[in-house]
Amino acid sequence: MYPDQTRPDFGQQISTRFHEGMTRVRQGFFQSLQIVISGIGAYAFAHSVLGHHEPIFAATAAIVSLGYVRGATHSRRMLEVTIGVTLGIFIGDLLMLLLGRGVWQAAVVLFLSIQIARFLDNGIIFTIQMGLQSCLVVLMVPTSDGVFARSVDAIVGGLFAFLLMFFFPKDPRAEPRTNLQKLSESFADVLRNSAESIDRYDWDRAQSALEQARSLEPLYEAAKGDVITAKGMAKLSMLGRRYREELDEYSNILTGLDLAIRNTRVLNRRMASTINHVRISQDAIESISDVLRQISVAVADLGEVFYLSDQKDRAALRLRVRRKLSGVSSTLEPSLMGVKTLEAESLVLMLRPLVTDLLEATGLNHKDASKLLIPLGESMTEHAPRTNKIKRVEQTSRVVNTFNEEDNTENLKPDDTRALNIVLRKQEEDPFDDE
């Protein structure tokens, strides 16, 4: 633990856990009602209509089918559970007739059920349900309802889960909207910090922006899981089908944000290294920081899409964001941004795929997004020494990121990267005057 880090006290931990728990309760309240109605309804139907005594497997199948899940479609989850439970009970009933009841019989039934499940499907849920239910059938006291009554109960439970999802769905957009908004806001904040770090030429701030960009991964995974789950719910729901187009938009935006975040991590890592080792021109510093701020605003605006329910409003907002990014893409050429060094040029070149990814998030395909980038012309850094020809200078401390106009470059070695930057600094007005 770092010295400046303070561990939250016990009261803070309790408060945090309480608020997190209440958030989960609020988010899952409607689904909790679905689970209760489905489980009790399936049990009541099997008991009152089919005449089964203690049809516990009907309630079990319904409850497990509607269980809280993220990152998997509800349709696949329900099918896995229903088929797994039914096959498991059927195999258990069948083998119990042949082998009888007991511990060793349960072991044999469990092993065979698992092997059959692995042969039929690679789903973990399918395997667990099939093995568990077959084992329970052998260990539990047989009912007077018939050999395969429990298999019928499992089918009833699965059907009740499907019917409840179809006729009484919750809005599948709720949870994806929340996490997608958080992701957009957090990503915009990363870009703002990146702009500040290059503007102030602050290595510590650049490192902080890099770590902040890396911390977006869990939030992205949560949003991805929510979108997948929501699309699965929309397929099952009678009312949810009208949200499919909107959920497809969410998925496309999320894909673009994911690629842009990955490129931002690469950019921030390179930016921190550049700040730590060399000094780029002031014009380049200002232009790069300005571009990052503009991109940050565009990402924040893109996040507003998730607040809008009307398709026309979403399309109009995405178009406005696209125009902002198009304006940025028309400036991403090193010579136009005051670039004087290879290091600054590399930063500009890394900004180009970042903007392309965000343009794709607004609805463009990759080809059209790439066309909006200004063509790369001849950069002045083509006349500078290649970085792979310059020996690395080992440093015991970070380079001071200021220039002293009185520096005597004659006392510096020609393979010193700092010497190269001082020379370039003095030649900013006419970088080609030595030709």
Query: In the numeric block, which tokens belong to residue 107?
Result: 């072991």
- What is the separation, in whole angstroms, between the first and last Cα of the chain? 55
More confident residue, 416 or 150: 150
Q: How far, in Å, CA of 418 to CA of 277, rounded?
A: 8
User: Which amino acid, residue 142?
Assistant: P
Q: How confident is the model at residue 192 (pLDDT cuts 50, 70, 90)?
A: very high
What is the Cα Rg of the chain in Å?
Answer: 31
Query: In the numeric block, which tokens belong to residue 9?
Result: 């006290």
Q: Mind listing the pLDDT tens digit for each residue in 5-30?
A: 445 577 778 877 887 778 777 767 77
Query: Which residues, in sequence order, are CB contacts of 206 under 8 Å at separation 6+?
Result: 194, 197, 198, 268, 271, 272, 275
Is the residue at 193 inside a domain?
yes
198 shares its domain with 246: yes
148 shares its domain with 186: no
**Full 3-state SS string of 306-371:** HHCCCHHHHHHHHHHHHHHHHHHHCCCCHHHHCCCCHHHHHHHHHHHHHHHHHHHHCCCCHHHHHH
Identify the domain boundary among 152, 167, 182.
167
Is the residue at 414 inside a domain?
no
Is the residue at 98 inside a domain?
yes
Structural domain range at position 360: 174-376
271 shares its domain with 368: yes
Q: How confident is the model at residue 100 (pLDDT cuts 50, 70, 90)?
A: confident
226 shares its domain with 342: yes
CATH number for the domain harbouring residue 326: 1.20.58.220
134 shares its domain with 241: no
Q: How confident is the model at residue 217 (pLDDT cuts 50, 70, 90)?
A: very high
340 shares its domain with 282: yes
Identify the domain boundary among 356, 376, 396.
376
99 shares its domain with 40: yes
147 shares its domain with 179: no
Q: Of the given ranges (71-80, 243-252, 394-403), which has the lowest mean pLDDT?
A: 394-403
185 shares its domain with 132: no
Does the structure show a pLDDT above 50 at 172?
Answer: yes
201 shares its domain with 110: no
Per-residue model confidence (pLDDT) at position 77: 67
Q: How far, in Å, CA of 432 to CA of 430, rounded?
A: 6
152 shares its domain with 214: no
Is the residue at 413 inside a domain?
no
Residues in the chain: 435
Q: Mind listing the pLDDT tens digit for each residue in 361-373?
A: 999 999 999 999 9
149 shares its domain with 203: no
Identify the domain boundary among 376, 396, 419.
376
Per-residue model confidence (pLDDT) at position 413: 44
What is the model's pTM? 0.66
Is the residue at 10 inside a domain?
no
Q: Mind listing the pLDDT tens digit for each residue in 50-98?
A: 888 888 888 888 887 776 555 555 666 667 777 777 778 788 878 777 8
Q: How many domains does the chain have?
A: 2
Is the residue at 419 inside a domain?
no
Q: Which of 149, 137, 142 is nearest to 52 (CA)?
A: 149
Per-residue model confidence (pLDDT) at position 67: 66
